[in-house]
């Protein structure tokens, strides 16, 4: 076995184990951390495939931003994981059987030799994957790129539309209304007789 | 290669619609009147349909390095999508206004959903197909959840979102397998390399199963239909009206692009899968609809059975079958605009006219509305002289022409079962005593006029179906390569 294969199997083993930990860990923070490890090893496998840009993006975006947010949320919300796990063991035999069957079938169907692929020749050391991707994104795939941007816009609009609540109790002042006010409108002098408040039973 | 500027002219309808959608989002920040966003939405949709007509070339034309295709079938479907979106917006104005949902964000999301449909209709690449689908689905999830104080709508949105994400995952997995096998994401190149034979037929069928399953989810065909009744029932009537109409045209185009443009050489394999899905949809849709007391739920099951018919047309793999399926989807959208439009129209502040009981004795109160609803229902049941009859007839003709006589018999039998619950609505409207409380709509003459036109269109197209049939047949014929 050559060196890249050893690295591949090493990383894959860690990836699988950490993936397993994500679903089996009792503590949600541990599960999130295991997911970080899974992303990290996946990035390692991509580096092995000479997809440096994707690997770096995975680490920067997912590990650096998304997972940190995720861990924040997990820590802030007191999630009762035992509640969510109810019925895990009773459903396990059937679910395990179905999953096992599917894995066996997929292994039978999807061998590496089925696709007739050959490994591409290695690129020169000064070859920039990132530059190539950038060139493709803004020329050949500009339509898809713009569509992805529109999808992100929709995500923003949907998130705001679904969470922005205009509560009546909000103490917000319209600046335009505020600056239109005059001295006469601001205060009104009234002449009232002094009154004695009625004594209520609750106050007594 | 930088795309030539002519590519941008080809994609003018999409670009125009995107611009209008962004303006609709912005206009609310500067304007107090909600009518501005509403009128702008209608103008934008009209403008898009005009652009579709103007930029139509009449021959299939690729743009953006093979990601975009402009062909007659796509143009017809895009035009009809825009028109049905216009009708849906007009029907739902009063409903949305009553519930304070007629705002820039709702209409903006609606326009983005229409944009997603247009992208799906004119996609010639796995990437643009998937992106269009996601654009449509994401906007729809948000629209379903828009009525935030309703627990039912939130639950429906959650179900729709989770199952939709699962379906997208299945679809992507299938696409990636086909990509691995053929080495291309472009539909015409996939068809080409499948034509010359691939290394492993097993992997092809395996990928195809995932693609068809994802497609079934999106169409709402059994056994992937579980989301449809809950979403149709839980969503506000105006959103149900929108989900149940225009996206069906896009779903038909999606199926055509994927299965016919891309995977036609594997026709023998997907034919079997579509046949199973079609029969299951016809059975489950028609039988489960009988038990429903909620008209939105009943129409959801009826959608499932109609999708079964559509799949029957597609599975024949013949030109007649494809054009019959297209005719079916167009006439289904027309009928379902009438049906859901009526539910939306009869709703008042705080109450949705969603139970069958709400339609009791409608004839005594509103003879004309009852007549329109009766026409819609009889057309859905497939009775002559309405357009639904010719839709079913042309699918059956295509089936028999391709030698699937047993399937045609099954389809007719299930349609007979289905006729029961459609006619029950007619009976309730005409022969039952009116419910105690009156559901008189006192508003929206524009919606009433459009509803009348909609009902009459069902009748007129039923008497003279030839023009629409020819349009479907010609556009499909000119678009197939």
DSSP assignment of chain A equals --HHHHHHHHHHHHHHHHHHHHHH-SSHHHHHHHHHHHHHHHHHHHHHTT-HHHHHHIIIIIIIIIHHHHHHHHHHS---HHHHTTTHHHHHHHHHHHHHHHHHHHHHH--GGGTT--PPPPPPTT--HHHHHHHHHHTTTHHHHHHHHHHHHHHHHHHHHHH----TT-----HHHHHH--HHHH---------PPPPPTTT-
For residue A168, what pLDDT is reported? 65
Q: Which positions in chain A have a beta carbon within 8 angstroms of at least one beta carbon in chain B?
A: 106, 109-110, 114-117, 139-144, 147-148, 150-151, 153-155, 157-158, 160-162, 165
> Taking CB atoms and an 8 Å limit, are B142 and A157 in contact across chains?
yes
Which of A105, A117, A144 would best serve as a mutation to test chain B binding (most B beta carbons within 10 A)?
Answer: A144
> Taking CB atoms and an 8 Å limit, are A154 and B3 in contact across chains?
no
For residues A95 and A17, give the distance between their C-alpha atoms in angstroms, rounded to a whole number: 19
Nearest to A151 among B25, B138, B148 (CB): B138
**Taking 60 as the threshold, does the pLDDT of residue A203 lie above it?**
no
Please check whether residue B1 touches A, CB under 8 A: yes
Judging contacts by C-beta atoms under 8 Å, the chain A residues touching residue B106 are 161
Q: A-contacting residues of B 388-417, CB under 8 Å?
A: none
Q: Sort strands B68-70 and B61-63 into parallel, antiparallel or unpaired.
A: antiparallel
> Taking CB atoms and an 8 Å limit, are B145 and A117 in contact across chains?
no
For residues A2 and B402, give the distance between their C-alpha atoms in angstroms, rounded to a whole number: 56
Chain A nearest-CA distance from B105, in A, is: 6
Choice among A126-130, A164-168, B275-279, B395-399 with the minimum mean pLDDT? A164-168
Nearest to A143 among B22, B128, B145 (CB): B128
Query: Is residue A13 very low, low, confident or very high in pLDDT (cuts 50, 70, 90)?
Result: very high
For residue B439, what pLDDT is reported? 58
Contacts of B440 (CB under 8 A, 6+ apart): B365, B366
Nearest to A154 among B68, B112, B119 (CB): B112
**CATH architecture group of domain A1-80:** Up-down Bundle (1.20)
Residue numbers in chain B where pLDDT is lower than 50: none
Q: A-contacting residues of B 51-90, CB under 8 Å?
A: 63-65, 67-68
Both structure tokens of A58: 């995975």
Judging contacts by C-beta atoms under 8 Å, the chain A residues touching residue B65 are 139-141, 143
B-chain residue closest to A159, CA distance: B142
As a whole number, the mean pLDDT across chain A is 85
Domain that holds residue B438: 5-479
For residue B437, what pLDDT is reported? 64
Chain B nearest-CA distance from A183, in A, is: 27
Which of B202, B205, B210 would best serve as a mutation to test chain A binding (most A beta carbons within 10 A)?
Answer: B202
> Taking CB atoms and an 8 Å limit, are A140 and B1 in contact across chains?
yes
Query: pLDDT for B213-230, tens place per residue?
Result: 999 999 999 889 999 999
A-chain residue closest to B101, CA distance: A161
Is A48 in contact with A125 (CB distance < 8 Å)? Answer: no
Judging contacts by C-beta atoms under 8 Å, the chain B residues touching residue A151 are 131, 134-135, 138
Please check whether residue B11 touches A, CB under 8 A: yes
Judging contacts by C-beta atoms under 8 Å, the chain B residues touching residue A148 are 131
Nearest to A147 among B119, B142, B202 (CB): B119
Chain A nearest-CA distance from B404, in A, is: 31
For residue A200, what pLDDT is reported? 64
Compute the Cα dihedral for B53, B28, B141, B343 and give only its sign. negative
Query: pLDDT for B265-323, tens place per residue?
Result: 999 999 999 999 999 999 999 999 999 999 999 999 999 999 999 999 999 989 999 99
For residue B284, what pLDDT is reported? 94
As a whole number, the mean pLDDT across chain B is 91
CA angle, B342 as apex, B340 and B346 as ends, to 5°?
125
Which of B147, B200, B204 would best serve as a mutation to test chain A binding (most A beta carbons within 10 A)?
Answer: B200
For residue B444, what pLDDT is reported? 66
> Taking CB atoms and an 8 Å limit, are B109 and A143 in contact across chains?
no
Nearest one of B293, B285, B472, B274 to B391, comparing CA atoms:
B472
User: How much is the ipTM here?
Assistant: 0.92
Query: pLDDT for A140-163, tens place per residue?
Result: 999 999 999 999 999 999 999 888
For residues B418 and B327, give the distance between their C-alpha atoms in angstroms, rounded to a whole number: 20
Chain B nearest-CA distance from A72, in A, is: 23
Alpha helices in B183-236 (DSSP H): 187-195, 201-219, 227-234
Domain boundaries, chain A: 1-80, 127-167
> Taking CB atoms and an 8 Å limit, are A147 and B135 in contact across chains?
yes
What mean pLDDT do residues A103-122 have? 79
Judging contacts by C-beta atoms under 8 Å, the chain A residues touching residue B148 are 162, 165
Judging contacts by C-beta atoms under 8 Å, the chain B residues touching residue A110 are 177, 203, 206
Judging contacts by C-beta atoms under 8 Å, the chain B residues touching residue A107 are none
User: Count of domains in chain B?
Assistant: 1
> Taking CB atoms and an 8 Å limit, are A142 and B108 in contact across chains?
no
Chain A nearest-CA distance from B177, in A, is: 9
Query: pLDDT for B160-212, tens place per residue?
Result: 999 999 999 999 999 999 998 888 999 999 999 999 888 888 889 999 999 99
Judging contacts by C-beta atoms under 8 Å, the chain B residues touching residue A161 are 105-106, 109, 142, 146
Chain A nearest-CA distance from B155, in A, is: 14
């Amino acid at each position: 076995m050559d060196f890249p294969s050893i690295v591949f199997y090493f990383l894959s083993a860690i990836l699988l184990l950490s993936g397993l930990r994500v679903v089996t860990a009792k503590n949600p923070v541990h599960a999130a951390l295991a997911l970080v490890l899974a992303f990290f090893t996946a990035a390692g496998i991509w580096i092995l495939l000479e997809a440096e840009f994707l690997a770096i993006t995975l680490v920067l975006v997912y590990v650096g931003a998304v997972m940190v947010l995720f861990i924040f949320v997990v820590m802030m919300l007191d999630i009762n994981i035992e509640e969510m796990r109810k019925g895990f063991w009773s459903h396990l035999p059937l679910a395990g059987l179905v999953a096992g069957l599917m894995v066996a079938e997929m292994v039978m169907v999807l061998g590496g030799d089925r696709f007739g692929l050959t490994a591409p020749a290695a690129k020169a050391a000064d070859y920039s994957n990132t530059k190539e991707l950038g060139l493709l994104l803004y020329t050949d795939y500009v339509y898809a790129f713009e569509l992805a941007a529109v999808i992100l816009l929709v995500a923003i609009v949907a998130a705001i539309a679904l969470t922005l609540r205009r509560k009546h109790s909000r103490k917000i002042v319209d600046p335009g209304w505020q600056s239109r006010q005059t001295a006469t409108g601001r205060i009104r002098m009234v002449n009232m007789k002094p009154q004695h408040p009625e004594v209520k039973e609750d106050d007594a | 290669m930088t795309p030539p500027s002519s590519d941008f002219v080809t994609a003018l309808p999409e670009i125009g619609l995107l611009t209008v959608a962004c303006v609709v989002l912005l206009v609310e920040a500067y304007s107090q009147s909600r009518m501005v966003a509403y009128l702008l939405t209608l103008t934008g949709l009209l403008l898009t349909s005009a652009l579709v007509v103007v930029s139509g070339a009449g021959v299939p034309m690729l743009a953006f390095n093979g990601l975009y295709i402009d062909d007659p079938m796509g143009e017809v479907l895009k035009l009809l999508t825009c028109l049905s979106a216009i009708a849906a917006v007009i029907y739902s104005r009063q409903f949305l206004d009553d519930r304070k949902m007629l705002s820039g964000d709702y209409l903006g999301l609606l326009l983005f959903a229409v944009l997603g449909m247009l992208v799906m209709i004119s996609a010639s690449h796995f990437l643009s197909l998937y992106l269009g689908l996601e654009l449509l689905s994401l906007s729809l999830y948000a629209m379903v959840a828009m009525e935030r104080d309703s627990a039912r709508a939130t639950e429906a949105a959650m179900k729709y979102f989770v199952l939709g994400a699962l379906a997208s995952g299945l679809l992507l997995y299938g696409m990636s397998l086909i990509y691995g096998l053929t080495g291309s994401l472009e539909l015409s190149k996939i068809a080409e390399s499948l034509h010359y034979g691939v290394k492993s037929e097993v992997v092809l069928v395996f990928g195809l199963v995932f693609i068809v399953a994802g497609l079934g989810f999106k169409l709402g065909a059994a056994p992937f239909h579980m989301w449809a009744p809950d979403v149709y029932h839980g969503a506000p009537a105006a959103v149900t009206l929108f989900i149940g109409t225009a996206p069906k045209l896009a779903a038909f185009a999606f199926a055509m692009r994927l299965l016919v443009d891309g995977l036609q050489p594997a026709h023998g394999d997907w034919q079997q899968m579509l046949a199973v899905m079609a029969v299951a949809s016809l059975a489950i849709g028609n039988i489960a609809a009988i038990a429903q007391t909620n008209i939105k739920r009943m129409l959801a099951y009826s959608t499932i059975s109609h999708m079964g018919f559509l799949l029957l047309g597609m599975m024949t793999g013949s030109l007649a079958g494809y054009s019959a399926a297209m005719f079916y989807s167009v006439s289904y959208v027309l009928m379902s605009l009438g049906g859901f439009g009526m539910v939306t129209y009869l709703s008042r502040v705080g109450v949705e006219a969603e139970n069958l009981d709400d339609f009791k004795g409608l004839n005594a109160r509103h003879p004309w509305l009852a007549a329109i609803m009766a026409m819609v229902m009889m057309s859905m049941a497939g009775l002559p002289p309405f357009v639904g009859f010719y839709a079913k007839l042309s699918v059956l003709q295509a089936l028999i022409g391709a030698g699937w006589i047993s399937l045609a018999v099954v389809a007719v039998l299930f349609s007979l079962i289905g006729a029961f619950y459609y006619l029950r609505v007619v009976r309730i409207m005409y022969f039952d005593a009116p419910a105690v409380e009156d559901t008189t709509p006192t508003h929206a003459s524009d919606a009433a006029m459009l509803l009348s036109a909609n009902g009459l269109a069902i009748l007129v197209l039923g008497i003279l179906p030839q023009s629409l049939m020819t349009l479907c047949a010609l556009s499909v014929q000119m678009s197939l390569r």
